[in-house]
């Protein structure tokens, strides 16, 4: 740098370090999302809850010269480029460590930083969206919004455009040889006019269905509630006008409010078709597909009443997928076996039908990503030991 020229970037070290720290925190949150979202205390949070995230400690770069070798000035041998590794600590990967893996170098320092639920959600929900969301035109009375279309020289003061008035005043004085603001005249004023503009809206409804039969044990209840909890938070934060319908079922299905949906206990047998029939009745009666984006999501353990009802579920699932932007079936099964219902759903070959299977707490995060993504395409998630899953086209998952 030429003598006398000040490098002002050195005076911005604080903001630069702060930005680097925030990026490290965001990276740590992304790496730990699968564990963070299964924190039980978050399910009853009031929004002010904070969570602790382990972040790798940041160390400043510095030159360290050898005190044992010959005298040297530290200019290097030349030919090095940014990112080249010049040396390693003994005991670290690639260094002079214990051949049996014990290592002699220092470990990596970590510290815990607290992040709010809002910060966690902002990073988490970056990866989620309602798939195949399309604009739907609402009725004219609901969709009428003012749109400013022109500027006039006359009008009521309530519509005066002050910014344009300032510009006109400056232009008038500039034409007179003085580029300044001066006394205002009526000729400086400009007024906005508008017309009601019916705009298409991406109206959407999410139909959430939860199995509350007697076979839904503690882990299954907790998993389904946690999934729907994060689904709710995602919809509320990203889509203000999305409606939600809640259905619970055992041998009979019923539409419930949000409170009962999350807290209703388990009892009785299971007839999954009752939930699908009710969902179809609600969709066709209140949310016609030509005016709504429809998303149906059902979670169960797959223990259903009889093979005949499994066959009926296949037919109803096909109908729901035909009407919906996405129909997802999620199965919760910690033992890892394939239920008769999941096996029956292999016959549903529909590009908007998605199946997921969860056997561990950590499977909630990939299940959310598998369902709420840009293009469903019959995708399927199989997670956990022995938790294979097939696709909407009948294929076998990982």
Domain count, the chain: 3
Q: SS3 of 343, please?
A: helix
The pLDDT confidence band at residue 267, using thresholds 50, 70 and 90, is: confident
117 in the same domain as 241: no
Bridge partner list, 51: 115
Query: Is 190 inside a domain boundary?
Result: yes
The predicted model scores a pTM of 0.63
The pLDDT confidence band at residue 231, using thresholds 50, 70 and 90, is: very high
For residue 71, pLDDT beyond 70: no
In this structure, what is the dihedral angle of CA atoms 233, 263, 299, 203, given to the nearest 10 degrees?
-40
CA pair distance 361, 197, nearest whole angstrom: 48
Q: Which pLDDT score, from 0 to 100, does residue 397 have?
A: 34
Q: Which pair of tokens denotes residue 372?
A: 């709420």
Query: Is 138 inside a domain boundary?
Result: no
Query: Is 161 inside a domain boundary?
Result: yes
The pLDDT confidence band at residue 50, using thresholds 50, 70 and 90, is: low
**What are the pLDDT digits (tens) for 110-122?**
556 666 677 777 7
Query: Is 79 inside a domain boundary?
Result: no
212 in the same domain as 349: yes
- Contacts for 375 with CB less than 8 Å, ≥ 6 apart: 131, 132
Q: Which pLDDT score, from 0 to 100, does residue 95 have?
A: 47
For residue 275, pLDDT beyond 50: yes
- CATH number of the domain encompassing residue 283: 3.40.50.410
For residue 283, pLDDT beyond 80: yes
352 in the same domain as 212: yes
284 in the same domain as 321: yes
44: phi then psi, degrees, rounded to nearest 5 = -120, 25
Answer for the pair 373, 42: CB distance below 8 angstroms, yes or no.
Answer: no
For residue 280, pLDDT beyond 90: yes
Domain termination site, one of 198, 224, 240: 198
216 in the same domain as 191: no
How many CB atoms are located within 10 Å of the residue 24 CB?
A: 16
Q: Which pLDDT score, from 0 to 100, does residue 310 have?
A: 92
Query: Is 226 inside a domain boundary?
Result: yes
Query: For the purposes of burial, counting CB atoms within 10 Å of the CB of 126, is it exposed (0-12), middle (13-18) or buried (19 or more)?
Result: exposed
Q: Radius of gyration over alpha carbons of the chain, in Å?
A: 30
Q: Which pLDDT score, from 0 to 100, does residue 101 have?
A: 47
Query: Is 395 inside a domain boundary?
Result: no
**What are the pLDDT digits (tens) for 128-174?**
889 888 877 655 444 445 555 667 778 777 778 888 888 888 888 88
Q: Which pLDDT score, from 0 to 100, does residue 265 have?
A: 73
Q: Which pLDDT score, from 0 to 100, does residue 390 have?
A: 39
CA pair distance 15, 9, nearest whole angstrom: 10
Q: Where are the alpha helices (DSSP H) in the chain?
A: 13-31, 33-36, 117-124, 140-143, 162-175, 218-238, 258-263, 272-286, 306-323, 340-344, 364-371
For residue 210, pLDDT beyond 80: yes
Q: SS3 of 12, please?
A: helix
Query: Is 182 inside a domain boundary?
Result: yes
For residue 191, pLDDT beyond 70: yes
* Domain range for 301: 202-382
Q: Where are the alpha helices (DSSP H) in 32-132?
A: 33-36, 117-124
Q: Which pLDDT score, from 0 to 100, does residue 319 have?
A: 94
360 in the same domain as 301: yes
148 in the same domain as 207: no
359 in the same domain as 280: yes
Nearest residue to 208 via CA among 234, 171, 185: 234
163 in the same domain as 272: no
Domain termination site, one of 78, 101, 127: 127
281 in the same domain as 305: yes
CA pair distance 43, 250, nearest whole angstrom: 24
369 in the same domain as 339: yes
**What are the pLDDT digits (tens) for 57-68?**
445 455 555 656
262 in the same domain as 149: no
Q: SS3 of 255, please?
A: strand
- Pairwise pLDDT comparison (289 vs 13), residue with the higher score: 289
Nearest residue to 26 via CA among 90, 122, 131: 122
Query: Is 52 inside a domain boundary?
Result: yes
Percentage of the chain modeled with pLDDT above 70? 63
């Amino acid at each position: 740098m030429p003598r006398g020229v000040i490098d002002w970037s050195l005076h911005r070290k604080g903001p630069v370090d702060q930005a680097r720290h925030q990026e490290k925190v965001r990276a740590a949150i992304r790496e730990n999302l699968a564990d963070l979202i299964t924190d039980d205390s978050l399910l009853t949070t009031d929004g002010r809850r904070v969570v602790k995230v382990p972040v790798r400690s940041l160390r400043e770069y510095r030159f360290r010269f050898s005190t044992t070798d010959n005298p040297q000035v530290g200019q290097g041998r030349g030919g090095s480029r940014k990112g080249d590794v010049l040396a390693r600590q003994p005991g670290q990967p690639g260094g002079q460590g214990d051949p049996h893996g014990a290592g002699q170098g220092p470990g990596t320092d970590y510290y815990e930083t607290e992040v709010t639920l809002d910060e966690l959600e902002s990073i988490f929900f970056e990866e989620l969206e309602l798939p195949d969301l399309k604009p739907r035109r609402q009725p004219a009375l609901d969709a009428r919004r003012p749109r400013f279309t022109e500027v006039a020289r006359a009008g009521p003061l309530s519509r005066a455009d002050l910014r344009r008035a300032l510009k006109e005043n400056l232009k008038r004085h500039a034409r007179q040889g003085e580029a300044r603001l001066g006394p205002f005249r009526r000729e400086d004023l400009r007024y906005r006019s508008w017309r009601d503009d019916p705009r298409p809206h991406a109206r959407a409804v999410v139909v959430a269905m939860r199995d509350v039969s007697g076979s839904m044990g503690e882990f299954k209840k907790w998993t389904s509630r946690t999934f729907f909890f994060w689904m709710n938070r995602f919809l509320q934060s990203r889509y203000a006008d999305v409606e939600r319908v809640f259905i619970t079922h055992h041998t009979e299905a019923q539409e419930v409010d949000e409170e009962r949906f999350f807290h209703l206990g388990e009892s009785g047998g299971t007839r999954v078709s009752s939930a699908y029939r009710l969902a179809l009745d609600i969709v066709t009666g209140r949310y016609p597909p030509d005016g709504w984006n429809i998303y149906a999501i059902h979670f169960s353990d797959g223990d259903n009443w009889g093979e005949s009802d499994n066959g009926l579920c296949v037919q109803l699932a096909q109908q729901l997928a035909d009407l919906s932007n996405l129909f997802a079936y999620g199965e919760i099964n910690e033992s890892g076996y394939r239920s008769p219902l999941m096996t029956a759903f292999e016959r549903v070959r529909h590009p908007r039908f998605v199946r997921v299977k969860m056997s561990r707490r950590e499977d909630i995060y990939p299940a959310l990503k598998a369902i709420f993504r840009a293009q469903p395409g019959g995708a399927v998630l199989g997670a956990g030991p022995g938790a294979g899953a097939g696709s909407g086209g009948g294929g076998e998952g990982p």
